[in-house]
Amino acid sequence: MASHLILLPHGVGKLRHRPIVAASSNGSPYPETKKRGPVVLEIPLDQIRRPLLRTRANDPVKVKELMESIKEIGLQEPIDVLDVDGVYYGFSGCHRYEAHQRLGLPTIRCKVRRGTRETLRHHLR
C-alpha cells in the first residue's frame, strides 16, 4: 500500500500524536505490513519520559545554536523515541528536546519505534 506524506506547519500547538506518515486502515499509526517500523509523530514534550535526564548535562552553546536554527528553519531531523506499551521514552536528541523546551514549543517531531520492556531495560543499563 502506498503511504502518503502529510505536510504539517512547524510548531502548531494543538497537534496530539498526529501521524505525519499516513495511518494504516486499521487506525494504528504503525504501517500494517511492518508492525514495528518507525512512524513520525508530533508528541507533546510532557508526554516523553526522559529517564536519563539528570545523568547527562547538555552543552548550553549547542542548545542555544539549535534554538536559533529551529526558530529559523524548524526541526530538520526528528528525535528518536521508544513506545513501550503506549508510553514514550526518549534517550537521545537531548539538545533538540531542550531547545524545544526553551523555545516554549508544546510538541516535538519524533521518530517513534515500538519497543518491549526488555528494549527499555537495555536502554536503562
Give me the residues that bind ligand ADP (CB under 6 A), please: 62, 66, 69-70, 73, 75-77, 92-96
Minimum distance between the CB of residue 93 and ligand ADP, rounded to whole angstroms?
4
Comparison of 21 and 66: residue with beta carbon closer to ligand ADP: 66
Comparison of 10 and 35: residue with beta carbon closer to ligand ADP: 10
Cβ(122)–Cβ(113) below 8 Å: no
Residue from 73, 85, 8, 65 nearest 41 by CA: 8
CA angle 108, 112, 117 (to 5 degrees): 125
Cβ(78)–Cβ(109) below 8 Å: yes
Comparison of 32 and 59: residue with beta carbon closer to ligand ADP: 59
Minimum distance between the CB of residue 4 and ligand ADP, rounded to whole angstroms?
23
Task: Give the CA diameter of the chain.
Answer: 44
Minimum distance between the CB of residue 64 and ligand ADP, rounded to whole angstroms?
11
Minimum distance between the CB of residue 101 and ligand ADP, rounded to whole angstroms?
12
Sequence length of the chain is 125
